[in-house]
Amino acid sequence: MITVTDLTKRYARTTAVDHISFSISKGDIVGFLGPNGAGKTTTMRMLTCFFPPTAGKATVAGFDVFEQSLEVRRRIGYLPEAPPLYLEMETIEYLRFVGRLKGLTGDRLEKRVDFVLERCAIADVKAKLLGKLSKGYRQRVGLAQAIIHNPDVLILDEPTAGLDPKQINETRDLIKSLAGDHTIILSTHILPEVEQTCERVIIINKGKLVATDSVHNLQARARGAESVLVEVGARTGEFAIPVVRARLEKITGVSRATLKEEFQNGAVFEVEASKGQLVRGDLARAIVESGWELNELRPAAMSLEEIFLQLTGTDAGAKSADTPPEEAPTPEAPEANA
């Protein structure tokens, strides 16, 4: 659906996007990931024909973004970082305007307007002025205008920025529900968002492509050897940190056990197994047999956060333990949860 080859954008002094190549097939949800200023918006603006690339080539649905710009624009729905709303217009009036601009007329226009009002849950504010809407509603109206002409490709620039957690969830669900009909690219610097909504990730940093893969593969690739977190509690057996650690390390296949956290009558260890060894069963048995409580046992999957920092090399020392993700306190890795 989208093919990008050696796409480059140079401004007067800086190179915002530097020879990026990737391709996206129909129906994919792709997360476009990178720190602020990595070139996400620039890439998206080139794909949406807002400005032409300095060098390289990009095609959407087989049309070149520079040569056949109007054809591309007909097939793209774009939600810029700030929803492009005319604040003095009413919601429905605005959607009709955008619909007409994208080439809809008559019955079809009315049908699509009703459809997006319904789909984006903004029917209750259809007669309100856009300037009076809350941030969450504005974002949804922005999304509604992007899908009004039922485009093949949907390009969303930080669709959840500045929303409260409830609105973020609603917006994510909305985006996921759109996935079937559209190819979606969404950019973000919030990692859990990608983990939750996207199938594939394209990571860029300082204008360069760092990685492109499925979320699952990326996690697997970065994880390497299996590593599990166990929370052990005191019960009948003698409970002392060095004793527990020594016992855990005695299990065959375990290469190392490190204390992660200690509290009254309990402790959390990270147990690393040598590659290819499955140690969870043995671990559980050993703990129970030693007369301790096994409170929790879970794989210490690397969050995208860590992978991201590893790949982009931004401040690798301060890994995720010290830098909580910006938004959700515990990023979950759905595929990796046992």
Partner 1 sequence: MRNIWIICRRELNSYFTSPIAWLLLTMYSVIFGWIFWNFLAEFIKQGIDMEMMGQASPMNLNEQVIRPLLGTSSFLGLFMIPLISMRLFAEEKRNGTIELLATSPVHDIEIILGKWVAATLLYCWIIVFSSINFVFLFRYGNPDWKPMAVTFLGVFLQGAALLAVGTFISTLTKNQIIAGALTFGACLMLWVFSWVSSYDSSSWAQVFSYMSVITHFDAFDRGVLSTKDAIYYLSVIFLGLFFTARSMESLRWRS
- To partner 1, the closest distance from the beta carbon of 123 in angstroms equals 22
The angle, 0 to 180 degrees and rounded to 10, between the axes of the packed helices 135-147 and 91-101 is 30
Q: Judged by CB under 8 A, does residue 55 bind partner 1?
A: no
Nearer to partner 1, 46 or 286 (CB): 46
264 pairs with which residues across the strands?
A: none
Alpha-carbon gap, residue 222 to 210, rounded angstroms: 14
Residue 76 binds partner 1 (CB under 8 A): yes
Return the range that interacts with partner 1 (CB under 8 A); candidates 50-58, 111-119, 180-188, 299-307: 50-58
* Shortest CB 51 distance to partner 1, Å: 5
Q: Is 145 in the site for partner 1 (CB under 8 A)?
A: yes
**Can you tell me which of 62, 86, 173, 335 binds partner 1, judged by CB under 8 A?**
86
210 and 19 Cβ atoms separated by less than 8 Å: no
Listed in sequence order, the residues at least 6 apart from 16 whose beta carbon sits closer than 8 Å to its beta carbon are 9, 10, 39, 42, 207
> Taking CB under 8 A as the criterion, which residues in 98-117 touch partner 1?
98, 100-103
Which CB atom, from 146 or from 302, has the smaller least distance to partner 1?
A: 146
Per CB under 8 A, 209 contacts partner 1: no
200 HSE (CA, 13 A, CB side):
17
CB of residue 60 to partner 1, shortest distance in Å: 12
State the Cα–Cα distance between residues 253 and 281, nearest whole angstrom: 11
Which sign, positive or negative, has the C-alpha torsion 183, 189, 195, 197?
negative
Distance CA 127, CA 89 (A): 9
Nearer to partner 1, 156 or 333 (CB): 156
Contact positions toward partner 1, by CB under 8 A? Answer: 11-12, 45, 48-52, 70, 73-74, 76, 78, 80-89, 93, 97-98, 100-103, 145
